[in-house]
């Protein structure tokens, strides 16, 4: 087995061990594409070392060190995160290296990042331990080697005798009860997870889907999911794309003497007490095009 394959198997085993021991964040314990994206954003905002940042950049395809990693994660097509779930569920035996390395960062696997020398050294240590292990004793009878059975200690005998037999069959009624209970639990779990995901919050220049019950991860207010706003509501960050063609077609808000433009009507996503206004020619000329038009300042 290659060094990277050993690393891959250890990362996957570590995930399921932490899952069993309830050591994973709720988003990782239920690794939907949206949950993986949200947890990646959470890690970026809490601070990362250079090696982990490189792993993120490699996966999210950011070759420029100055590129906005948060924006790349928030704007990713979440379907591109499905291969991570496939790897976790063992639906693929040959995941891309970037997927394995990303999961290692998400679950805080050690040692990381992957270095071939770390895993080659483990092979050397294992071979050394094997070479030092005692060999089975053997005896000779009529010139032939015959293995001598190893005598069990009293402790071994006691542990063997304490093993209880397990019934090999369940009654049909018991199986029906178990099956029915499983279906009910699965249905309730699906409904609960579905309800928990029906929320969104503002992130930089757009809304993203978030868990309704996990408000601590987000600086902005978590609100009910609005499919239309999720798809169409954006803050316009490039004013050089705006012109007179956009008069009365985009919206703006002026907060603390700072003007921001948006693609749709509604409340300001970060100042919900402020409503957005249609951008007039005066507003666009002055704040988007950098001109100093004569006009009524009251409309600002």
In this prediction, residue 84 carries a pLDDT of 93
| 157 against 96, higher pLDDT | 96
Pair 53, 86 in one domain? yes
257 pLDDT above the threshold of 50: yes
Q: Which of 96, 116, 136 is the last residue of a domain?
A: 116
Of 95-109, 147-161, 189-203, 280-294, the least confident: 147-161
Residue 148 placed within a domain? no
Residues 220 and 280 in one domain: no
* Confidence grade of residue 105 (pLDDT, cut at 50, 70, 90): very high
Q: How many CA atoms lie within 13 A of 215 on its CB side?
A: 6
Report residue 281's pLDDT band, with 50, 70 and 90 as the boundaries. very high
Say yes or no: 15 and 90 in one domain.
yes
Do 38 and 46 contact (CB within 8 A), yes or no?
no
Domain check: are 37 and 101 in the same one?
yes
State yes or no: pLDDT of 215 exceeds 90.
Answer: no
- Residue 119 has a pLDDT of 82
Alpha helices in 197-237 (DSSP H): 227-232
Q: In terms of residue numbers, what domain contains 55?
A: 3-116
Which tops the pLDDT comparison, 253 or 147?
253
For 259, residues 6+ apart whose C-beta sits below 8 A from its C-beta are 252, 253, 283, 287
Query: Where is the domain boundary, 116, 141, 169?
Result: 116
Mean pLDDT for 265-275 is 88
- In angstroms, the CA 52 to CA 44 distance is 9
Burial bucket for residue 72 (CB in 10 Å: 0-12, 13-18, 19+): middle
Residues 95 and 39 in one domain: yes
Higher per-residue pLDDT: 5 or 179: 5
262, part of any domain: yes
Q: Are 287 and 259 in contact (CB under 8 A)?
A: yes
What integer pLDDT is reported at residue 139 of this predicted model?
42
Q: Tell whether 205 and 274 lie within a shared domain.
A: no
Residues 201 and 293 in one domain: no
Burial grade of 114 (CB within 10 A; 0-12, 13-18, 19 or more):
buried
Domain total in the chain = 3
Burial letters for 231-260: b for 16+ Cβ neighbours within 10 Å, e otherwise? Answer: eebebbeeeeebeeebbeebbbbeeeeeeb
Q: What is the four-CA torsion angle of 178, 183, 188, 190, rounded to 10 degrees?
A: 130
275 and 217 in a common domain: no
pLDDT for the residue numbered 260: 95
Q: Is residue 218 predicted with pLDDT exceeding 90?
A: no
CA dihedral 56, 60, 61, 65 (to 10 degrees): -50
Q: Token pair 């309830």 is at which residue?
A: 22
Q: Is residue 144 part of a domain?
A: no
How high is the pLDDT of residue 259?
A: 94
Q: Report CA 66 to chain centroid distance, whole Å.
A: 23
Binning pLDDT at 50, 70 and 90, where does residue 234 land? very high
Residue 153 domain-assigned (yes or no): no
Question: 207: closest CA among 235, 236, 172?
Answer: 235
What is the pLDDT of the chain when averaged over all its residues? 77
Residue 243 lies in a domain: yes
pLDDT beyond 70 at 66: no
Instruction: State pTM to two decimals.
Output: 0.48
């Amino acid at each position: 087995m290659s060094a990277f394959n050993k690393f891959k198997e250890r990362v996957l085993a570590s995930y399921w061990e932490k899952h069993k021991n309830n050591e994973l964040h709720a988003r990782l314990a239920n690794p939907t594409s949206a949950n993986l994206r949200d947890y990646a954003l959470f890690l970026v905002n809490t601070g990362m070392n250079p090696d982990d940042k490189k792993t993120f950049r490699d996966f999210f395809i950011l070759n420029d060190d100055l590129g906005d990693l948060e924006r790349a994660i928030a704007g990713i097509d979440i379907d591109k995160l499905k291969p991570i779930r496939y790897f976790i569920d063992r639906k693929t035996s040959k995941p891309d290296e970037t997927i394995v390395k990303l999961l290692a960062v998400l679950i805080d696997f050690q040692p990381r990042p992957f270095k071939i020398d770390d895993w080659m050294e483990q092979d050397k240590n294992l071979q050394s331990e094997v070479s030092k292990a005692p060999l089975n004793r053997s005896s000779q009878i009529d010139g032939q080697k015959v293995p001598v059975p190893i005598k069990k200690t009293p402790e071994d005998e006691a542990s063997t005798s304490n093993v209880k037999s397990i019934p090999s069959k369940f009654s049909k009624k018991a199986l029906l009860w178990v099956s029915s209970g499983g279906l009910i639990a699965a249905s309730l779990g699906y409904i609960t997870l579905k309800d928990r995901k029906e929320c969104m919050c503002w992130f930089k220049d757009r809304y993203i889907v978030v868990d309704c019950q996990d408000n601590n991860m987000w600086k902005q207010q978590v609100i009910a999911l609005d499919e239309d706003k999720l798809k169409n509501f954006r803050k316009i960050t490039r004013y050089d794309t705006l012109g007179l063609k956009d008069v009365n077609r985009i919206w703006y808000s002026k907060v603390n003497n700072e003007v921001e433009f948006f693609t749709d009507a509604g409340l300001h996503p970060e100042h919900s007490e402020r409503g957005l206004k249609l951008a007039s020619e005066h507003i666009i000329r002055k704040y988007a095009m950098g001109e100093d038009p004569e006009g009524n300042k009251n409309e600002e």
